[in-house]
Chain A
């Protein structure tokens, strides 16, 4: 009798232990499967959300060229179908990488997509911020995301020799150098005393060449001194539908310069400010005279000037009582606002502002930072922004956690 009871106790104990062990094993497998299921769902959601953003223009469809807040979020160019994005809708996205710039004369902050002397400063009040976009996309509070629109083709330019000026152009794609690509370039040299009165002017030189097997090309400018002259080189590289843009500049007045701020999308107004109002480098303060030009990119990759109205030339200075200049872009076609400025007969420079991000292949990063998030799904599409090849990448993560109760 005692032996039978012990037998029962031992067997029940072993049985319960085994059951607990197997429940744990099965539970682990099930938990992993559920977690995988959630990750799979996140990846699908990421792909769907990316298509949702890229394949609809939002509402109203022209929100990129107006001051209104859209009631539906999308970045597709309303004049096209498929994966073609509006350069202006992208311009209205609040950049999550650049430090916002405060301009005291308008008492406003500006979203900053500036690289070098290529400025793109958009009023924060009119830029579409992350929370608005998340709300319009229906993911507010459930998913976090970051949208990155990067040019596929990188055109980097470096100075090889300063006098006479020799510049090296390197064209690379996402995974390979772009050999045998056609390079169309525009070299703009600032003439400090070339314009009417004390206003600067510029001369433009256009040419084309080809990249070698390594995707490189060497450009010579025999009558340019890279130390003493102010210039900018804008390069368009193209091969089989892939078009990339790069630029390189050198200015002789690098502390006092012009900063353009977009003031109003709908009215296409741009403020022309003195750099000391934004970055004060200390005395002396000098007045800057400027000469603004707006150019469009033509189909043969040359730049065509469009006449600017009042405010094309002017003078700006730092501090109170010194008003900024205002110029109105004449069109909603993407182009580049070129502003040559002059501090003295020998100190001058040039700044560029793309009108539509594609004109200078500016990248856009929009949304929250995925760093440190538990599981981030990403998806990628190739897109075209006004003829320039970009890659759109969406990183998506859940805000509701991944805990699995098994």
Chain B
């Protein structure tokens, strides 16, 4: 009998153990077992409402503005019927190392969000805020920092169809001058002659400058140079340009087409035969010999003439009909906020062999090379000087030139801090589920 009593006692103990363990081993409700990810749903709802910055606009409006009603309608419309919500906006007040959140307004479609809810927070900025960006200046921590933009009033351009050199110069000035210590518009060929002779125009640093030729396939020629360096249809002048680029460690930028294919000076070339054979007067045809001579000058080689055509054409069916921006250019497009078209047609792509013959290193690919053809790049001489050449067909996109220069020099952008008072609001969307268990 005692054994049976003992066993009954054991059963009571086990029963108690089962009851006690059952009390602790609480199984979750089915909703908790297979939950809807309310936090993600809340975040994506806020992102959807702010896709055109509508949410950002509304939360900065007065509390009695009808836009809050529209926000509530949109919220109700985009959430499933069994989801209840509470959207609360807070003013973010930033102080010295602290942030204070002040309640602004709350909208909701239920008194309670049930037993289980989750929320997402979304920081919005007022559309009235302007953020200041201070660019680093090229040459700030070294030599140079001068940008020369050829804006010569006494020269004509070619392959800049639809633009004038002066309008391109103005656009380049607006885009690039914030990144340089000094930006000088070279107003005529006389001034160009001065800087080629090493004379400063505005007490600027002549060495290590960037010179942008806005005249397309033509290049302005000072009268003094036209009368002196006229051998081989002015290829000798192009050689002198190359020499100066080497001497002053300039970066010479050619914005479109075959570089240095014509020379132009409307005051010097005034004869009836002084045109480029396409009806543009004040211009002389140099041909491909101009670029060859320039490269020899850049490499500090003695002058000799070669009239060989060296560029590749999209008509040659070698893949140049559609060349695309390099990954580096795409990256810096985002960094500097300049977005040229990603695809271009190259008709004057330079061959890669020039790097070996003229001791050049490609420091920046603006466009992706196609085989042995380079449609757009910065070629830097191993000793001094550089050439930026965009062998694209007309009309020019000067944003590519800008991207080439910025990608090569990589000036940094210092953005202002995000601490202005009253410019940020925090929106918290809390979601709960109704019905079921």
Contact = CB atoms under 8 A, between A and B. Distances in A.
A389 B78 contact: yes
Interface string B10-41: 11001100100110010110000111110011
Interface string B359-395: 0000000000000000000000000000000000000
A36 B11 CA distance: 29
A26 B4 CA distance: 24
A47 B6 contact: no
B76 interface: yes
Interface stretch (A137-145, A201-209, A239-247, A286-294): A239-247
B54 interface: yes
Given A40-B33, A378-B36, A382-B45, A7 B79 contact: no
A172 B58 CA distance: 21
B70 A240 contact: yes
Interface in A275-314: none
B420 interface: no
B133 interface: no
A241 B3 contact: no
A179 B73 contact: yes
Nearest to A376: B34
Contact of A43 (B35, B52, B55, B80): B35
A26 B22 CA distance: 9
A51 B40 CA distance: 9
B2 interface: yes
A10 interface: yes
Interface string B272-288: 00000000000000000
B50 interface: yes
A172 B77 CA distance: 7
Contact of B73 (A36, A174, A178, A380): A178
Interface in A371-387: 375, 377-384, 387
Contact of B22 (A29, A42, A241): A29
B48 interface: yes
B184 interface: no
Given A14-B7, A25-B18, A242 B78 contact: yes
Interface string A322-356: 00000000000000000000000000000000000
Interface in A7-32: 7-8, 10-12, 14-15, 18-19, 22, 25-26, 29, 32
Contacts of A187: none
Given A36-B27, A382-B47, A47 B40 contact: yes
Contact of A242 (B33, B40, B48): B48
B398 interface: no
A175 B18 contact: no
A180 B70 contact: yes
From A11, A29, A377, name the one whose CB has the most chain B CB atoms within 10 angstroms.
A11
B74 interface: yes
B113 interface: no
B34 to A, nearest CB: 4
Contacts of B67: 240
Interface string A372-406: 00010111111110010101000000000000000
B4 A241 contact: no
B81 interface: yes
Contacts of A378: 36
Contacts of A177: 77
B49 interface: yes
Contacts of B318: none
Nearest to A29: B25
Contacts, number: 147
B14 A241 contact: no
A220 interface: no
B4 A174 contact: no
B37 A47 contact: yes
B224 interface: no
A4 B73 CA distance: 81
A186 interface: no
B44 interface: yes
Contact of A180 (B21, B41, B73): B73
B37 A26 contact: no
B172 interface: no
B18 to A, nearest CB: 6
Contacts of A25: 18
Contacts of B76: 173, 175-176
B80 A240 contact: no
A7 B1 contact: yes
Nearest to A17: B11
A404 to B, nearest CB: 14
A122 interface: no
Given A33-B27, A241-B54, A380-B41, A39 B77 contact: no
Interface string A185-229: 000000000000000000000000000000000000000000000
B8 A14 contact: yes
B73 A239 contact: yes
A15 B5 CA distance: 11
Of the listed residues B15, B36, B81, the one surrounded by the most CB atoms of chain A closer than 10 A to its CB is: B36
A235 interface: no
Contact of A175 (B2, B6, B58, B79): B79
Among A153, A172, A177, A178, max chain B CB count under 10 A is at: A178
B378 to A, nearest CB: 27
Given A8-B3, A10-B3, A239 B74 contact: yes
For B18, B44, B81, the residue with the greatest tally of chain A CB atoms inside 10 Å of its CB is B44
B4 A11 contact: yes
A18 B74 contact: no
A108 interface: no
Contact of B6 (A11, A240, A391): A11
B83 A176 contact: no
Contacts of B15: 22
Contacts of B1: 3, 7
Contacts of A32: 27
A179 B77 CA distance: 9
Contact of A176 (B3, B44, B77): B77
Given A47-B37, A153-B78, A239-B73, 7 more contacts: A7-B1, A11-B7, A14-B11, A18-B14, A36-B28, A83-B44, A382-B48
17 contacts: A10-B3, A11-B3, A11-B6, A11-B7, A15-B7, A25-B18, A29-B25, A33-B25, A47-B40, A152-B78, A173-B76, A174-B78, A175-B81, A240-B55, A242-B49, A377-B34, A378-B36
Interface of A: 3-4, 7-8, 10-12, 14-15, 18-19, 22, 25-26, 29, 32-33, 36, 39-40, 42-43, 47, 51, 82-83, 152-153, 172-180, 239-242, 375, 377-384, 387, 389, 391
* Nearest 8 CB-CB pairings of A with B: A173-B77, A176-B76, A240-B74, A11-B3, A175-B81, A382-B44, A11-B7, A241-B49
